[in-house]
Amino acid sequence: MELGFLGLGQMGSAIAERLQAAGARLHIFDPNEVATAPFVLRGAVDEASVRAVADAAEVVFACLPNGSVSETVAAEAAQGSAVRIYVEMSTIGSPAMGRIASLMDGRGIMLVDCPISGGPKGARAGTLTVIAAGPAAARAAVRPWLAQIGKNVFEVGERPGQAQLMKLVNNLINAANMATAFEALVLGAKGGLDPDQMVDVINVSTGRNSATQDKVPRAVLTGTFDYGSSLTTMLKDVVLGLGEAEALGVPMWVHGTVEQLWRFAEQQGRGREDFTALIKVLEGWAGTEVRSRG
């Protein structure tokens, strides 16, 4: 099967590796030659442009950093002579996805809105959560490929934008979990509690959440801060989620405050750091650290 793939950053390259390993012959484009080189060695075709990828493959996947880039790339891909299904895997929000959908509709191309969750490690392991929305025929065509990258694949509707909303609902909760867990753990550490024991207690009690069960043990207690996504990326998703809420007239009292904390951390120069580095801001204020003592 000939597949196109646009965007070989951390997430894109990990997803493309899974597709290539599953037997797809990839037509790829990324302006970073270092990113494309390993795929070429394994048999991929390094195309000269986005348009060239869309001229070569009927199904084109895109995994890009933000909505502006996604819209620009989609506009060029829509001019391709071969592409019939365009799978947008970026988290860009419903308005941007709606504009891409209109563009693709005008060219007779079916769009699958398909954000993913789980980070680069999950992508390489094939354990991502994949959320898809779009025409039934398009979802059926790409379903076998989505099964190669995702442990859990959810199809949430026929209208592009629905998958974006689902992803942002999840990420709003994720961002809030991290903010509140980090804040409370800093309180405990300041009061002299053992960080490892705190996490053990929380994880068999009512305070447990994805931050305490996974992110804190893996990247905070160890001091590695290498979970796999940037602080700026999380802030982007919180802002997009609040935009969805505003468009639907839904008050977001708690998440408005959560957004302020993430934005402050970015303004302190931590945007490129791993998103678990958010706790460093809270630790700085309190004059303590949440690290394993062993």
Task: Examine the residue annotation and report whether 215 is marked as an active-site residue of this protein.
Answer: no
CB of 128 closer than 8 Å to CB of 16: no
| DSSP for 101-156, written as a single string | HHHHHTTT-EEEE--EESHHHHHHHT-EEEEEES-HHHHHHHHHHHHHHEEEEEEE
Q: Of 195, 189, 258, whose CA–CA distance to 221 is shortest?
A: 195
CA angle 203, 205, 206 (to 5 degrees): 110
Q: Could you tell me how far CA 257 lies from the centroid of its own chain?
A: 22
Q: Are strands 128-133 and 116-117 parallel, antiparallel or unpaired?
A: antiparallel
Given 121, 151, 167, 215, the catalytic residue:
167
Q: Are 22 and 61 in contact (CB under 8 A)?
A: no
Rounded to a whole number of angstroms, the distance between the first and last alpha carbons of the chain is 51
> What residues act catalytically?
167
